[in-house]
Amino acid sequence: MSAETVARWNAIPLNRPEQPPDPPSLKRPRQDGQDEDDSDDDVSLISRSPSPPPDAMDVDKYDEYYKQRPAPEVITVETKIQSTNVGFSMLAKMGWVEGSPLGLSGDGRVDPVPFYVKNDLTGLGKATQDVRMIESTVSTRRGLDSERQTKETEEQRRLREDAVARRAAVQSEISTVLRPFYCEVCEKQFQNVAQYDEHTNSYAHHHKVRFRDMQAAQRASRNTEEEINKRKEKERKREEKELRKIAKAAGVKMVKPPVAVVAPSPTVSAAGTGEPQTTGFKKSGWATVSTVVASAPAAPAEPPKRSGWAT
């Protein structure tokens, strides 16, 4: 043991230094029976032998302290075994010469066997198979129908035309048979009765039927005489408004035409007939009111009532 270690051990005090009294604790005092059981707990956690000082060398700066390390060697697939290799020495002792193939026949390969990292998820050899199939497919172009027709014989042409005619006849017969299962409203063709019944009972079919009926009703309402008159009046007002704008821009003042209000005139019966005349006054949205005017030479005709309710 060195003198420095002995001096360090002698410098360690054998008695603990006196510490100031602790403040009163809020813990419950321990009972007498527990002192004997927990006597092993009164062990000091302070080590009497201090740890040695850390080394001045930092682990992260290892490369700076180690100057004579060998340069890293990059090894690839094409790198050959060097003469310092143990395997190279063993082969040389067995009679192998550098650059010559292995084996008794001497026809083995000299270069290292290459390998490729497979990153895809396909099986082994799948990529090669795909490349081979693509090359075989692309190498020969698919012939066009026009090219085949120019090279076919008379018999082949007749057979082709007969096949086309048979297919057309079959398609025509199928369309004729399935014609009852065609929905003209939805413009859909169905193959059997079940599909047709399911479609006619569906919400989409009834929705289109109602929509078609609504459009027909709107077209019928637009073609009535009242709607035609309304459209003409609206067009007349629009043209009048445009003319007023043009005249205002030109500085010409136009006077609004007076709107003539025609009052309903009662019908006076001819003298000597003695038959009462009926005059009617119609108000939009209300029932027709009819009044009977007695024929009298001196009394004026009674004006029509304004009430719209039938009496």
222-257 pLDDT per residue, tens: 777 888 888 889 999 999 999 888 888 888 877 766
Cα 222 from Cα 126, distance rounded (Å) = 71
Mean pLDDT over all residues of the chain?
76
Structure confidence at residue 268 (pLDDT):
46
Type and span of the H or E element at 221:
helix 203-222
User: What does the domain layout of the chain look like in residue ranges?
Assistant: 151-200
Q: Is 85 helix (H, G, I), strand (E, B) or coil?
A: coil
Residue 274 backbone zone (phi > 0: left; psi -120 to 50: alpha; other: beta): left
Side chain identity at residue 118, one-letter code: K
Q: Output 149 or 53, whichever has higher pLDDT.
A: 149
Indicate the SS3 state at residue 59.
helix
Angstrom distance (rounded) from CA 277 to CA 294: 7
Across the range 251-280, mean pLDDT stands at 55
Structure confidence at residue 33 as a pLDDT band (50, 70, 90): low
- Please tell me which residue, 275 or 163, carries the higher pLDDT value: 163
Amino acid at 259: V
- The band of 306, judged by pLDDT with boundaries at 50, 70 and 90, is low
| Phi and psi at residue 36, to the nearest 5° | -70, -35
pLDDT per residue as tens digits for the range 92-126: 998 888 888 887 787 888 887 777 778 888 888 89
Q: Measure Cα distances from 4 to 13, 54, 168 in Å.
A: 16, 17, 115
280 φ, ψ to 5°? Answer: -115, 145
Encode 68-105: b = buried (16+ Cβ within 10 Å), e = exposed.
Answer: eeeeeeeeeeeeeeeeeeeeeeeeeeeeeeeeeeeeee
Rounded to 5 degrees, φ, ψ at 55 are: -70, 145
What phi and psi, each to the nearest 5 degrees, are found at residue 271?
-70, 140
- Backbone phi and psi for residue 277, each to the nearest 5 degrees, phi listed first: -100, 140
Mean pLDDT of 192-217: 93
Confidence at residue 83, expressed as pLDDT on a 0 to 100 scale: 87
